Amino acid sequence: MDRVTWHGLEAGGTVQANRYFDRRGIALSVTLMVVVLIGAIVAAALTAAMSTTRTVNADYFGSRAFYAAEAGAEHALAQVELALQDGFLSEAELAAVVAPKLEGFDFFEFSVTKDGVGDTTRITDGPFAGLYAIIQDIRVTSRVTDGSGAHSAVVVGAQAQAIPMFQFAAFGHGAMEAYTGSRSDTWGRAHVNGDIYMATSDHHIHTILTTPGRFIRDGRVTHKDLDDIEVYVELSNNSEVLVTFDSETTPDPDEFKNRSDGELEGRIRTAAMGVDSLNLPLPPGMDPYELVRPREASDGDVERATKFAWKADLYVTIDLTDIRDRSAVCGTNSVPVATKVPSITLERFDGGALPADDDKCRIFPFDWEAFYDWKELKWVDAATVDVDELRSWVGASVDAPEIIYVEVIPSSSVQYSGTTSESNDDYYWPVLRVKNGSRLPGPLTVGSMLPLYMQGNYNTVDKQPAAVFGDRLTGLSECWTDDNSPNKGPTGGNNPNACHTYQYFSIVTGESEGYMGCYHHGPDPGCTPIPSGQSPGITIQNLEDWRACGGRCDYYVIGSFITFWSPKIASPWRDYPNPGPVYRSPHRNWSFDDDLANPENLPPGTPNVGYVLRASFKESY
């Protein structure tokens, strides 16, 4: 045991204590202290590591939850864009928007609601600023959690914009090309969903050109030297500037945007400036031609909200498989009674009156082999809408139909030979012809999936909102008569003489990818002939000699020109055969109708293209 020995000292001395310690005890104490200290350090390190791990895991799962919530909001906007394309967002459509299925995540709150009341107003933001649209502000809320308990939420504000197509001077679905050797002008807004090729020597853009693709100063097939291409843009001070760049010479998006904004006031807008496609409200992958096809039992809600046939309040069915005596179709008072005609059935879906049989056949006469079309090399069986007869029947007591759709049920049997003796053809080739329409009974849209022939002055007296639609359009002058054409049939000779003709309507038709056409105010300086084998983008074909007016006759078509497809029935383009009739072109005065800048002047059934503009985004806690 340890001992302490005391040694006594004299008074005034000190007392010392001598300790004798075992050094092995000190080592043990120190060791224990070191072990405790190391344990504390290890514990602190483990605690820190666990805390870091928990933080990293929390960040990881939190980030996953955030991106899942954001994906849900984008999924909702895609559904809203589809629902919007019929021009209206109903509460039922918004309630039907569903969250995406993401494995491991639960959307415990997911909603799309209207924010305020929608209204027709001018677009103030985005590439289509300046146009008017049916605008509805919407709010998307997407809250999500996962199995770890991590959660996140985002709230997205957007504008659902349904843009009426007829406020565009020209609207094309595919690539478009302007290829003229003399002056041409584009008046009004133009939009093309494909690339735009400007291989022109003197083209003038007076408003705004938009495309989600590229703007190229060259031809699509036939190439030209850049020094020979002149494209001008009119600025806000009415001066014009030569365009000296395009998407190929200026491929960098930021540089293209800066040059367009700085040099052209942003009047040529491409993908570099965020322009998106404007598509018809049809299911993905569906041919835009569905817009003009007849009603079908298989049509879903989207097709029914989009197709002209489902919007029609007067539906005309002409059945070529059901040929009857004229008296059985048109009544015993019809003349001539002995003629056989296809059955004609009328349906009125707005509750309005229907004409009696004799009125029916005066408004919608059917003529076998009415005339010969030199471009199609076919005799034409004409289903006609006689607008003057329609107006007379409507009078003051009948509500005038606003959308007329004509369906012709085809037949593969040998054609019934009608009253035309010049033809011995053995096929049907039905078309829709609209004539005697200088004064309309009111706002009117008429058309079919058939090739369309517009005959004579149209909508020139007490002008109304008007539109036509069809497979492809041929314009016949005010002087056209069917009697002239058969005498100039397949045996050759000149076409009938045309005269000045004025037509005011918007059009949805097909002409395939190709030329933008000619849009002129005043006398047409002339467009170079369209090269053989190439299809014009927006072109109205003619069959007459338009140089019978002491020069060239004026052919005015004032409205909006929309093309979405290549013709399915008519030929996209066909040169005259040689030998054949002499065709001479008119002054093509095709222009945008400024009245369409007012939404009150839109024709009945105007199709809308949907566009959803994302306006705001925030994370919600």
pLDDT confidence bin for 429, thresholds 50/70/90:
confident
Look-up of token digits 């008119």:
586
pLDDT at site 30: 64
- Stretch 276-287: mean pLDDT, rounded? 76
Residue 335 has pLDDT above 90, yes or no: no
- Stretch 345-357: mean pLDDT, rounded? 90
pLDDT confidence bin for 285, thresholds 50/70/90:
confident
Residue 468's contacts (CB-CB under 8 Å, 6 or more residues apart) are 434, 445, 446, 447, 452, 454, 505, 506, 507, 508
pLDDT digits (tens, 9 = 90+) for 155-188: 988 877 778 889 998 888 777 777 666 677 777 8
pLDDT at site 14: 42
pLDDT at site 245: 95
Residue 42 has pLDDT above 90, yes or no: no
Rg (the chain; Cα; Å): 38
In the chain, pLDDT over 70 holds for what percent of residues?
75
pLDDT at site 446: 98
pLDDT confidence bin for 336, thresholds 50/70/90:
low
Residue 523 has pLDDT above 50, yes or no: no
pLDDT at site 300: 85
25 phi/psi in degrees, rounded to 5: -70, -40
| CB neighbours of residue 98 within 10 Å | 13
Residue 127 has pLDDT above 80, yes or no: no
Min mean pLDDT across 36-40, 171-175, 539-543 is at 36-40
pLDDT digits (tens, 9 = 90+) for 188-219: 888 988 888 888 888 888 889 999 999 999 87
Higher pLDDT, 359 or 418: 359
Provide the 8-state DSSP code for 226: G
- Stretch 71-88: mean pLDDT, rounded? 75
Residue 512 has pLDDT above 50, yes or no: no
pLDDT digits (tens, 9 = 90+) for 393-423: 998 778 899 999 999 998 876 555 554 444 4
pLDDT at site 371: 86
Between CA 176 and CA 153 the distance in angstroms is 44
Higher pLDDT, 351 or 513: 351
In the chain, pLDDT over 90 holds for what percent of residues?
31
Min mean pLDDT across 439-448, 465-474, 549-558 is at 549-558
- Stretch 115-134: mean pLDDT, rounded? 79
pLDDT at site 575: 52
pLDDT at site 122: 82
Min mean pLDDT across 31-35, 460-464, 492-496 is at 492-496
Q: Which of 71-75, 494-498, 583-587 has the highest mean pLDDT?
A: 71-75
pLDDT at site 13: 45
pLDDT confidence bin for 262, thresholds 50/70/90:
very high
310 phi/psi in degrees, rounded to 5: -80, -20
pLDDT digits (tens, 9 = 90+) for 85-117: 555 677 888 888 999 988 888 898 899 988 877
Average pLDDT score, the chain: 79
| 170: β partners | 190, 561
Residue 524 has pLDDT above 50, yes or no: no
Residue 603 has pLDDT above 50, yes or no: yes
Q: How many helices (H) and strands (E) does the chain have?
A: 9, 37
HSE-up (13 A, CA, CB side) for residue 521: 11
Residue 516 has pLDDT above 50, yes or no: no
Paired tokens of 222: 């036939």
Residue 617 has pLDDT above 60, yes or no: yes
Paired tokens of 497: 């003489």
pTM of the predicted protein model: 0.75
Q: Is 327 exposed, middle or buried (0-12, 13-18, 19+ CB in 10 A)?
A: middle
Q: Which of 47-51, 113-117, 425-429 has the highest mean pLDDT?
A: 113-117
Q: Is 64 helix (H, G, I), strand (E, B) or coil?
A: helix
- Stretch 11-23: mean pLDDT, rounded? 47
Higher pLDDT, 26 or 597: 597
Would you give the end-to-end CA distance of the chain in angstroms? 71
Cβ 65 vs Cβ 155: under 8 Å: no
Higher pLDDT, 7 or 230: 230
113 phi/psi in degrees, rounded to 5: -130, 150
pLDDT at site 485: 65
Residue 203's contacts (CB-CB under 8 Å, 6 or more residues apart) are 178, 180, 183, 184, 185, 186, 230, 231, 232
pLDDT confidence bin for 531, thresholds 50/70/90:
very low
- Stretch 361-378: mean pLDDT, rounded? 86
